Amino acid sequence: MLKKIIWVLLILIGIGIAGALYLKSNLDEIVRKAIISYGRELTQATVELEEVKIDIKKGKGELEDFVLGNPAKFKSKYALKLEEVHLVIDPVTIFVDTVIVEDMVFEDIEIYYEKNEFGTNFEALKNNINSAKAYSSGATEINTDAQASQQNNNPSPSKKFIIKRVLLSGTEVEVVLSVLGKEEIEFDLPDIELTNIGIDNGGVTPEELTKILFSAIEKHLITNIDIDKIDSKITRELNRIQEKNEDDIEEVIDQIEKLF
């Protein structure tokens, strides 16, 4: 009897080790797929993510080349592109219910802020996020990976996050207005810093975190750009130009960019 118990224990230990090794070797891809699936579900737009690197032992993570596409009815390249995201995570909390992120730094951000007759692309994305239902297809994909790894401790929608500091740095914005055709207005957005997200309520869900970050970006855009005023001014300037050639339009854009 004792021999059988020992064999069962050894088998369970072997399964546990195999599962842990699988998770360690596949965690980057599991997280990458989860972010893509969840992002599409939440924003109702295309999401691309080139690479995820997570070092559990050091408590560090990196995301490279994240691209959030535009919602329907908008034609610019994309809404948001992140060159790099750097994470510093408390390693002890990675596989518990609430993950503590010491630092989250977004670098080299490109934003296309587009306005047409339907409003702005960021308004549309915000509406999609606010109307998104609880995690569905994304959860299915993550759970499938978890079953394959024989682990229940992988990243999942039930996890919460406490983020002590978020920094969005090096943001370039291109304003796209229908009155300008293919021309764009370019300017730099000041850095955005948020602190102590989720500390007061025991953490935030991925959906709540997305809303917080997105709202901060949109607020910063609105604060730094009066897009309706710009649109109106450009329209008036163009109407004053009798011969609307390319040089004239570029001159108007140069004058508008001086506002920033």
The pair of structure tokens assigned to 162 is: 């406490």
pLDDT per residue over 97-152, tens digit each? 999 999 999 999 999 999 888 888 999 998 998 887 544 433 333 333 433 333 44
pLDDT at 259: 46
The pair of structure tokens assigned to 165 is: 């500091």
Whether residue 251 is contained in a domain is answered as no
Whether residue 68 is contained in a domain is answered as yes
Gap between the Cα atoms of 114 and 42, Å rounded:
20
Whether residue 155 is contained in a domain is answered as yes
Whether residue 259 is contained in a domain is answered as no
**Looking at the predicted structure, is the pLDDT value of residue 241 above 80?**
no
Judging by DSSP bridges, how do beta strands 80-89 and 98-116 pair with one another? antiparallel
Whether residue 157 is contained in a domain is answered as yes
pLDDT at 26: 77
**Looking at the predicted structure, is the pLDDT value of residue 226 above 80?**
no
Say how many domains are in the chain: 1
Whether residue 235 is contained in a domain is answered as no
The pair of structure tokens assigned to 66 is: 């994240």
| CB of 152 closer than 8 Å to CB of 97 | no
Nearest CA to 34 out of 213, 210, 218 is that of 210
- Where does residue 180 rank: exposed (0-12), middle (13-18), buried (19+ CB within 10 A)? buried
**Looking at the predicted structure, is the pLDDT value of residue 232 above 70?**
no
| CB of 99 closer than 8 Å to CB of 162 | yes
pLDDT at 250: 64
pLDDT per residue over 56-88, tens digit each? 889 999 999 999 999 989 989 999 999 999 999
E-strand ranges in 90-228 read: 98-116, 119-120, 160-177, 185-189, 192-197
The pair of structure tokens assigned to 184 is: 């764009």
Q: Could you tell me what percent of the chain has a pLDDT over 90? A: 38
Lowest mean pLDDT among 15-24, 55-64, 100-109, 174-183: 15-24
Nearest CA to 76 out of 170, 172, 181, 231 is that of 181
pLDDT at 131: 85
Q: Which amino acid is at 50?
A: E
Whether residue 239 is contained in a domain is answered as no
Cβ-based neighbour number of residue 130 at 10 Å: 11
pLDDT per residue over 188-213, tens digit each? 889 999 999 999 999 999 888 988 99
Cα of 118 vs its chain's centroid, Å: 23
pLDDT at 234: 67
Whether residue 256 is contained in a domain is answered as no
Domain that holds residue 6: 2-225
The pair of structure tokens assigned to 110 is: 């490109």
| CB of 180 closer than 8 Å to CB of 211 | no
pLDDT at 146: 36
